[in-house]
Amino acid sequence: MLVISSKVDKNTLPVPVVVVDVPPGKKHLEAKVTKAWIHIHKHYLEDFDFFYRCDTDVYVVVENLLDYLKDQDPAQAHYFGHRFDSFTSGGPGMLLSREALRRMVTHEKFPRCMKEKWKSEYMCVFQ
């Protein structure tokens, strides 16, 4: 688990916290998420098979998630999440395989397209 924040909070969980230089608040969420994915790509891409992003109010049964992923190949570009008409919902969670994360962050449209209103990070480069 890795927490991405725009400030250091002494009351966070005892897990690594990456502070990104983005003002706090929903108004700057796209910039925070963009910087988070870039950081994860740079520092953790080869360390994990899948990357799950969700908001702080999400409950995940990790055993079920791992069971679901056991037959998935992280070398293939997999996206798992809920897609609305023109965007994916990041709140309840979105999961990317290693290859999907690599393709997303190195795509020529990323992070420029994150500035488009209501676009998620994955949808902005793979729609």
- Whether pTM exceeds 0.95: no
pLDDT, tens digit (0-9, with 9 covering 90-100), for 102-112: 998 888 777 77
- The neighbour count for residue 18, using CB atoms within 10 Å, is 13
Contact present, 88 and 75 (Cβ < 8 Å): no
**Best-predicted range by mean pLDDT among 11-20, 98-107, 111-120?**
98-107
- Burial code (b: 16+ CB inside 10 Å, e: under 16) for 85-107 equals eebbebeebbbbbbbbbbbbbee
